[in-house]
Structures are given as structure tokens and as C-alpha cells.
Amino acid sequence: MDIKAIQDFLGEAWLLTKERISSTLESDIALLNSTNESILSHSGKQMRPILTLLMARACSPAGVNDATVSYAAAADLLHNATLLHDDVADGSEQRRGKPTIMSLMGPSVSVLVGDYWLVKAMELILNVENAGSSGVMKIFAKTLSDLAEGEMLQLQKAQSGDTSEEDYLKIIYNKTASLFEAACVSAAISVDASEEYVRAAREYAVALGLAFQIQDDILDYSGTEAVGKPLGADILEQKITMPLLGALAGVSGERTEEVRDMIRKIADNPDYRDDIVSFVRENGGLEYAVARLKGYVESAIRALDVLPDSEARKYLVELAYYTAQRAL
């Protein structure tokens, strides 16, 4: 998929969003400015602001307005704020193939910069003046709560080693899909879309967000260093994800408990990682996860059926298919 082609399609709206992100972060503290510029120079695909702008275009013939641009920028700022915090929580030395702020400047700086980005995201939303702005603030506030609860549930389950598929889906909704939901629903609200269109935006975003995270978790077992994620990184963090849950579903209770016990003890036995990767591959875990991933992709695409045919809608469909293809 060509992200640059989508950015070109979005045109001035994309340029305005990038400019709003940069201008919102401006400070009279030189160190903060240079740190922000470093983060922006390695900003990834910026899926969340792209989704915001595309959804607004898909829901309204009039397309993007100033409120949409602010919500798109806020979604990107909030996402990066969570990454800065996650790097500290996870002790991550690299992200997107580059050293993290935590590794370069320490955990305190990473937390402080993350807080700054978070506050700036909220300021952007608060400064929007339209009929739906108070509702959008509630949506983003819920996302912040979801993110914190998801992180704590993940930590709790890492300690107990008893993650169920229901637990896993709650964690990835809170940590990933919730922000996709905020990005897309705020977009629909910004263009005064009908309730039917807002509902479609929500259903698409949640299904896409779940698929997006399942895809990332599949790569933990099937990818390589080339995709920017070390093989088995989740296992070493005691995270039980969809591929492992799929493999566990097909074995005896005794074998299930053996594998879960390995997860609990992996901090002292890192060699267990290779055993668990082999277990997942040999017991249909990847196939199970890919099937679940495809189901969510199909749900996301079906949710768009109520929207009028448009180039923006076609790109939303393409993004959903792209999520599935990366895991294959």
C-alpha cells in the first residue's frame, strides 16, 4: 500500500495537519523543541491522523474542515504520547528501528515529553468550537482512561499468566482500537455526519484497530528484525497474545498449564522464548490468529457499506486489506 499516495490524495488537509502538529508542539524551551523535532522526524505512517481525514472525506461531500484537522493532529499527538510512556513501562531501547527518547535521554525525560504531547493534544480538542466539540472531548477522555486500564490489565495478566481470549481482546481494544475509534468517530462528528455514519465510523475503527494489533502480534511469531520488532519480544514481556491463545486452544489442559507456567517463569528462563515460538508454530497458532485477523478486517470493510461510494472510502477499504496482508 502506498501511504504517500493517500497523503497526496488528502492534499492540503494533510499539509495543514502536519503543520498543526508542529505548531502545537512549539515551545520556548530549546531542548524540548529539539526533542520534539527528533520524534517527528521518525513519526511512522501516521495511521491515526490519516484515518481521521479519510473518514471525514468519506462521510461528507464537503470534506475536511478546521475541526477535522485539529482532531487528526490530536490523534497523532496522543498516540505518540502513549508511545513515549510505553517505552518507559516496557524498557524499550528502540522504536521504528531508532533509539527511543528513553534510551537517549532517560525515562524521566520520556515521561515528561509524553505528558507535554498529551496536554497539547487535549488543548487542540478544547480549542475546537463547533456543535460536537464537547462530545469529542468525552470520546478522547474515554480513550485516555481505556489506555491506562489496558496497560494495567496487561501488567496484571503478565503476572498471573492466565490471559483468556476475552482478556486479550479487552487489552487490545483499550490499548489500540480505542484510539482508532476516537480518530474516526471525531472525524464523523467534525463534518456533522448522521448517526448512521457515526456508527459506521465506530464499527470500522474498532474492527480495524483490533485487526491492526492482532497483525502486530502475529509478527512477533512470524516476523524478523526487518519489520522493526524482534522475534518473540512479547513473550519475553509475558504477553499472551492471539497466536499463543490459538495454539493453546488445540492442546490438552496439562500442556496448556505447562506453557503458561513457562510464560510466568520466562524472566529467569529467557530460553523458553524459542520453545514457545516453536509451540505456536507447530500447533496452528499462526493460522488461528490469521483467521481471526481476517474476520475483523471483513467486519471493518462491511461497516463502510452504508457510506457513499468515494475515493476516500476506497482508501479506507485499502487500509483494512493492508492490515491483513502484512501478517501473511
DSSP 240-255: --HHHHHHHTTS-HHH
Q: Within a domain: residue 299?
A: yes
How does pLDDT run across 43-93, given as a tens digit for each residue? Answer: 778 999 999 999 999 999 888 999 999 999 999 999 999 999 988 887 888
The closest of 147, 206, 211, 199 to 181, measured between CA atoms, is 206
134 or 173, greater pLDDT: 173
Predicted pLDDT of residue 252: 95
Give the pLDDT confidence score for residue 131 in this predicted structure: 67
Instruction: Give the model's pLDDT for residue 327.
Output: 45
29 belongs to a structural domain: yes
For the chain, percent of residues with pLDDT exceeding 70: 96
Q: Which residue type is seen at 40?
A: L
Picking from 69, 77, 55, 81, the residue whose alpha carbon sits closest to that of residue 15 is 69
Q: E strand or H helix at 323, and its extent?
A: helix 311-326
Mean pLDDT of 131-149: 91
The reported pLDDT for the residue numbered 282 is: 96
Classify residue 328: in a domain, yes or no: no
Q: Is residue 183 part of a domain?
A: yes
| CA Rg value for the chain | 20
Does residue 52 lie in a domain region?
yes
Residue 180 has pLDDT above 90, yes or no: yes
For the chain, give the mean pLDDT: 92
In 3D space, the residue among 292, 101, 120 whose CA is nearest the CA of residue 211 turns out to be 292
Give the long-range contacts of residues 126-135, CB within 8 A, separation 24 or more: 127/70, 128/66, 128/67, 128/70, 128/71, 128/190, 130/67, 130/190, 131/192, 132/67, 132/189, 132/190, 132/192, 133/67, 135/189
Residue 283 burial (CB count, 10 A)? 20
CA distance 132 to 21: 21
For residue 190, pLDDT over 90 is answered with yes
Return d(Cα 68, Cα 13) in angstroms, integer: 9
Average pLDDT over residues 192-206: 97
Whether 327 maps to a domain, the answer reads no
Under a CB-based contact definition with an 8 Å cutoff, are residues 72 and 63 in contact? no
Q: What is the CATH number of the domain that holds 266?
A: 1.10.600.10
| Cell 500447533, residue located | 283
The tens digit of pLDDT for each residue in 147-178 reads: 999 999 999 999 899 999 999 999 999 999 99
- Residues 212 and 166: beta-carbon distance below 8 Å: no
Provide the domain limits for residue 156. 3-321
At 319, is the pLDDT very low, low, confident or very high (cuts 50, 70, 90)? Answer: very high
Kindly state whether residue 226 falls inside one of the protein's structural domains.
Answer: yes
If one counts the domains in the chain, the total is 1
φ/ψ of 97, rounded to 5, equals 80, 5
Phi, psi of 95 (to 5 degrees): -145, 130
pLDDT, mean of residues 248-276 = 95
Residue 199 resides in a domain: yes
Mean pLDDT of 269-285: 95
The DSSP 8-state label assigned to residue 130 in this structure reads S
